[in-house]
């Protein structure tokens, strides 16, 4: 039975807290289904190209299922997959386009930050002399980190729902889905940055325990040793479990954001496509 997440005819623009809370409720109410799909997606990652496409498509599948719950048109996994699977390579295209774009932006921001940090360091070094080297270095690092983080989160916020239009809208390809995200988010970047920040904080304890702590132990061990191999395997399992647990939450969050953005910009005439006449195989 579907939980009351909001009405497709009465839902109001959501605050940062409401977006995250709605995603948490979706996650908890469909935990078994979402975790099963997330596990399958992560296992596909080990298969180059096709497996990556499956991972991206299953991510979109989870968001489609969540979106259907939000607008009171729930679908079964097989029914939803009958729409997702034919767009398999489009989902991979979206993932690569956004990933490569963010990488290029990161490198550009890092260079800009490094240049500004260097200029700041030189200026402070001349003003404060030798005693100001530490201060100048610290400020330079802070400036670089701030520029990179703010810039990356701004661009990520513009593409945060890049795969969702592809998952739920009709007659759209991967490139158009990315452009759709850019259009929908243009007036809500700061709010989306807030949502991303809060969601990151919510998932941080889990990721810290399962991903970061095992990795820290590896730094103190000799590579090639038996104990290193054991800890590495534990670290890999922890990363897998962490990814499986966190992925459905983020995909549900994107579905909530997408609905909220369309509510704000385009009204509430949102519908999933009619099911095809033939059964999914």
Q: Which H, E and C letters describe the chain, residue by residue?
A: CCCCCCCCCCCCCCCHHHHHHHHHHHHHHCHHHHHHHHHHHHHHCCCCCHHHHHHHHHHHHHHHHHHHHHCCCCCCHHHHHHHHHHHHHHHHHHHHHHHHHHHHHHHHHHHHHHHHHHHHHHHHHHHHHHHHHHHHHHHHHHHHHHHHHHHHHHHHHHCCCCCHHHHHCCCCCHHHHHHHHHHHCCCCHHHHHHHHHHHHHHHHHHHHHHHHHHHHHHCCCCCCCHHHHHHHHHHHHHHHHHHHHHHHHHHHHHHHHHHHHHHHHHCCCCCCCCCCCCCCC
User: In this predicted model, what pLDDT tens digit does every residue of 92-114 receive, in sequence order?
Assistant: 999 999 999 999 999 998 888 77
- Nearest partner of 156 among 189, 112, 114, judged by Cα: 189
Q: Of the given ranges (11-25, 59-73, 119-133, 201-215), which has the lowest mean pLDDT?
A: 119-133
Question: Which residue ranges make up each domain of the chain?
Answer: 16-266
User: In this predicted model, what pLDDT tens digit does every residue of 51-72 receive, in sequence order?
Assistant: 999 999 999 999 999 999 999 9
Examine the pLDDT at 267 and tell me if it is beyond 90: no
Tell me what pLDDT residue 27 has: 95
Q: Ranked by mean pLDDT, which of 56-70, 135-149, 215-229 comes out on top?
A: 56-70
Examine the pLDDT at 24 and tell me if it is beyond 70: yes
Tokens 């935990």 locate to 31
Of all residues in the chain, what percent carry a pLDDT higher than 70? 86
Examine the pLDDT at 134 and tell me if it is beyond 80: no
């Amino acid at each position: 039975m579907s939980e009351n997440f909001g009405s497709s005819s009465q839902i109001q623009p959501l605050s940062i807290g409401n977006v995250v809370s709605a995603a948490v409720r979706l996650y908890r109410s469909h935990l078994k289904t979402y975790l099963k799909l997330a596990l399958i997606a992560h296992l596909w990652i080990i298969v180059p190209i096709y497996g990556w496409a499956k991972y991206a498509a299953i991510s979109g599948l989870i968001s489609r299922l969540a979106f259907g719950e939000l607008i009171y048109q729930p679908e079964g996994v097989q029914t939803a997959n009958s729409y997702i699977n034919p767009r398999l390579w489009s989902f991979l295209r979206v993932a690569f386009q956004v990933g490569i774009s963010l990488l290029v932006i990161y490198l550009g921001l890092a260079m800009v930050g490094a240049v500004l940090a260097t200029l700041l360091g030189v200026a402070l070094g001349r003003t404060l002399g030798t005693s100001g080297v530490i201060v100048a270095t610290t400020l330079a690092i802070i400036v670089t980190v701030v520029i990179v983080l703010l810039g990356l989160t701004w661009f990520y916020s513009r593409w945060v729902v890049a795969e969702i239009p592809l998952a739920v809208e009709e007659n759209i390809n991967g490139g158009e889905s990315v452009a759709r995200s850019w259009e929908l988010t243009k007036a809500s970047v700061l709010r989306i940055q807030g949502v991303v920040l809060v969601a990151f904080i919510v998932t941080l304890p889990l990721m810290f325990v399962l991903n970061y702590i095992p990795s820290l132990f590896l730094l103190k061990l000799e590579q090639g040793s038996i104990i290193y191999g054991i800890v590495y395997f534990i670290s890999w399992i922890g990363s897998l479990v962490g990814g499986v647990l966190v992925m459905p939450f983020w995909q549900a969050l994107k579905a909530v954001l997408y609905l909220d953005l369309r509510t704000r910009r385009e009204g509430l005439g949102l519908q999933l496509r009619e099911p095809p006449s033939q059964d999914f195989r």
